[in-house]
Each structure stands twice: as C-alpha cells, then as structure tokens.
Amino acid sequence: MKIVTSPAEMQSIALDLRQQGRTVGLVPTMGWFHEGHLSLMRKAKDVADSVITSLFVNPIQFGPSEDLDNYPYDLERDKALAAATGVDFLYAPEKDSMYTDAFSTTVHVEGVSEGLCGDARPGHFDGVTTVVAKLFNQTLPHFAVFGQKDFQQLAVIRQMVRDLDFPIEIIAHPIVRESSGLAMSSRNTYLKDEDQDAALSLSRGIANAKELAADRSATVEKIKQSVQQDIEKHQACEVEYIEIVNATSLAVCDNIDSESVILLAVKINNSIRLIDNSFLLASS
C-alpha cells in the first residue's frame, strides 16, 4: 500500500491508473477505522481494480462547538488496518494542502441538505460536499463507496453528483453494527461503559419502530412518539430529532410505505452525538 499526502501526486497517480485502463474505487473517511470503514474498503475492492482510501479530518464540516479538536486520530493504526484490507493507496493530505489561505469556494446542495442534521449542524453539509468534490477531483474515481449510517449525507452526495455531472457511481453500503446492535461509529470511542445502555436506545428504538410499522395500523406520529419515549427513559439521552422520511427525497412521510426510513440523532450526556437509521418495512 502506498501512502500519498500531496493532492497533485494523488491526481497524477489517479490519471495514470485510468490511462492504464484500471477502474478506481474511492472510500472517503476521516479515519479511526472500524469494521464499518473496512467493509466499505472491501466493497470498493469488489467493484474496482484499484482502491484509494482517503483519510482527512475535514475541519470545515465541524461547527465551532463540535469535537474537531478531540476527534480520534491515529495514522499508524489506520495505515495497518487499511493495508490489511488490501487498499492500494491511502491518501492522507495535510490541512494546508487541502485549504490554502486563498481558498474561497463552497459547494452547496439545496433541498436534501436541509432539516435533520442540516438544521442541527449549520454549515456541516457545505463542508462535506466541498471536501468530497475536492476528493473526487483529486482521486478521479469510477466508484465511490459511502456508508448508509450517514443517510442524509449519502442523499446530499448523490444529489451533488447528479447536479454537477460527476462521472462517478455512488455505492451505498449497509450499516455495520456491534454485536449489541449499536451502529459502528468513530465517535463510539467516546462512550464510557455506563453510557452503553443509553447508546443502545437508538437501535432499540428503531426495532420498536419497525414492529409498529409492520402492524400497518400505527401512524407516523405514533411511531415517532413511541421511539422518543423509549429513548428518553434514559436520563443521559437528549433527542435531537426523530423523523420518518422518504428514502430519496428526504421529505417527511405522511404514511408508511416501502420507501419510509426512520432517522435518529441523539446526544448522550449532552456531548456524544450518535445517529442511526433504518427502512421501516422489510423488503419483499
């Protein structure tokens, strides 16, 4: 596995791979790899000849009171994990090479970036789309693999790719969970032993919502209220949002159908922000 830190070198390598007729797969990450990240890399290996994993803790997608300074980072650890998964290139640019003092461009996607995490984290998705657009131009992938845990982010990236005519196939990969049911996340490292039960309220709430939806008699509001009550039984939990939306448009659902997805964001002890989601009805 080759380590690349320069955007110019990365783009040169990507151009050379394409000229050789090789397909390129990209897995964008902010590091602190867990099995969820590694599953994305394995998926990229399934569909592409050469796999690039980017590792960049993107400062412009963090708000002023968020956890940028404390975000977990260990390059040597992540190098070993990526190499063991068969990644061909680990692209780890420095902040100054991604955003010079003269940098003044923002990529903004309207519509699907609004509401949900867009309301809770103003400016977050502008930071995401701007860095992903840069990564696409630096790595020139045929495929890019994103996890479904960040469901709204996935919708925003897909919209950007359509609107800006990026010749890239976006591949969604299912959520990878701990044996307990907790959705894997780099931020899970913040959780203390006594926080685990509160954190599991998200996946338990989703399981409850799916049971209610399968009954076909529960309304959208009843399902949301039931999930909120389940989560708020834990004093450590503060619900940021619970919404049931259409999987493509992210418009709020009036009724439950095969495209209905429940999305949750919850803060544990007012500091650890966890998200989770699921389609409500089992696919036929």
CA distance 245 to 14: 37
C-alpha separations of 147 from 41, 80, 233, 237, 259 in Å: 11, 21, 29, 24, 18
Helix, strand, coil share (%) of the chain residues, nearest 5: 40, 20, 35
Q: What is the pLDDT of residue 14?
A: 98
- Active-site residues: which are they? 37
- Position 71 pLDDT exceeds 60: yes
pLDDT in tens, 168-194: 999 999 999 999 999 999 999 999 999
Indicate the average pLDDT of the chain: 96
Please tell me the predicted confidence (pLDDT) of residue 282. 84
Yes or no: is domain 2-173 CATH 3.40.50.620?
yes
CA atoms within 13 A on the CB side of 249: 5
Residue 284 has pLDDT above 60, yes or no: no
Q: What is the average pLDDT across 92-98?
A: 97
Angle at alpha carbon of residue 100, lines to 122 and 134, rounded to 5°: 65
Residue ranges, CATH 3.40.50.620, the chain: 2-173
β-partners of residue 279 are: 261
Asked if residue 217 has pLDDT above 90, the reply is no
* CATH number of this structure's domain 186-277: 3.30.1300.10
The arithmetic mean of pLDDT across residues 130-155, rounded, is: 98
| 238 phi and psi angles, rounded to 5 deg | -125, 115
Which part of the chain is CATH 3.30.1300.10? 186-277
Q: Is the pLDDT of residue 201 over 60?
A: yes
Burial class (CB in 10 A: 0-12, 13-18, 19+), 282: exposed
